[in-house]
């Protein structure tokens, strides 16, 4: 019999019964990547290029996905990358990432980006956030099972539930686009 964990009125397996993969708590793979921004990171406006921040986000999320899944994981998608404030040269950027939700072979990783002046003792300010989906793969690049994530705090449980909503929306969007393309093809439109 599997161990179970209560998530806000829903019961989720803590052990995957098909492969007997034990669940892992959110804290087991949570990580922070920190980097000082330099002139090499700037765009034409003199602030840090969004692509530099996105690379840090992908790096931190990839580390978390690999840690949680116990092996290689590849980026499948990036949702809702939001830039809240510009990042400047001399900012110490902290990218905090954790697994919010797991499926059979995929994981959603939530990322918060914070920045603070490298030479000041003021609190860091949130400058961005993103959600990424990673797929765990084996040595041949084929999908492999991932351990279920075990939310530990109320915040983790909220993130888990929000991730389920985002997954539902991703799947519905993909289905609607596929249906539209099939309809257009049936009507003779070449895209």
Q: Where are the beta strands (DSSP E) in the chain?
A: 4-7, 10-13, 15-16, 21-22, 24-25, 31-36, 73-83, 91-102, 106-117, 125-136, 149-150
**In Å, how far are 13, 65, 129, 137 from 21, measured between CA atoms?**
10, 16, 30, 15
CA 128 to the chain's CA centroid: 13
- CA distances 77 to 80, 132, 179, 187, Å, are 10, 6, 20, 30
pLDDT at 80: 83
Instruction: Give pLDDT, residue 18.
Output: 55
pLDDT at position 14 is 46
What is the pTM (predicted TM-score) of this model?
0.85
Identify which of 179, 154, 188 has the alpha carbon closest to the alpha carbon of residue 6: 154
Give the count of beta carbons closer than 10 Å to the beta carbon of residue 173: 10
Q: Could you report the per-residue pLDDT of 68-104, keeping only the tens digit for each?
A: 999 999 999 998 899 999 999 999 999 999 999 999 9
The pLDDT score that the predictor gives to residue 12 is 44
Low-confidence ranges of the chain (pLDDT < 50): 1-15, 17
Please check whether residue 100 is in contact with residue 167, taking contact to mean a CB–CB distance below 8 angstroms: no
Decide if 78 contacts 56 (C-beta within 8 A): no
- Can you give the pLDDT at residue 190? 82
């Amino acid at each position: 019999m599997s161990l179970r964990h209560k998530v806000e009125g829903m019961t989720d397996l803590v052990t995957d019964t098909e492969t007997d993969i034990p669940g892992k708590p959110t804290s087991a793979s949570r990580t922070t990547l920190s980097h000082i921004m330099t002139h090499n990171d700037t765009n034409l406006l003199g602030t840090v290029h969004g692509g530099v921040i996105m690379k840090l986000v992908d790096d931190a999320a990839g580390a978390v996905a690999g840690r949680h899944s116990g092996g290689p994981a590849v980026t499948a998608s990036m949702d809702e990358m939001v830039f809240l404030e510009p990042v400047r040269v001399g900012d110490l950027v902290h990218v905090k990432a954790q697994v919010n939700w797991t499926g059979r072979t995929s994981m959603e990783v939530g990322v918060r980006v914070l920045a603070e002046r490298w030479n000041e003792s003021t609190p860091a300010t949130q400058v961005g956030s993103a959600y990424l989906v990673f797929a765990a793969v084996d040595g041949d690049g084929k999908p492999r099972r991932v351990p279920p994530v075990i939310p530990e705090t109320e915040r983790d449980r909220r993130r888990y539930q929000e991730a389920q909503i985002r997954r539902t929306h991703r799947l519905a969007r993909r289905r609607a686009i596929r249906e539209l393309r099939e309809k257009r093809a049936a009507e003779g439109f070449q895209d």
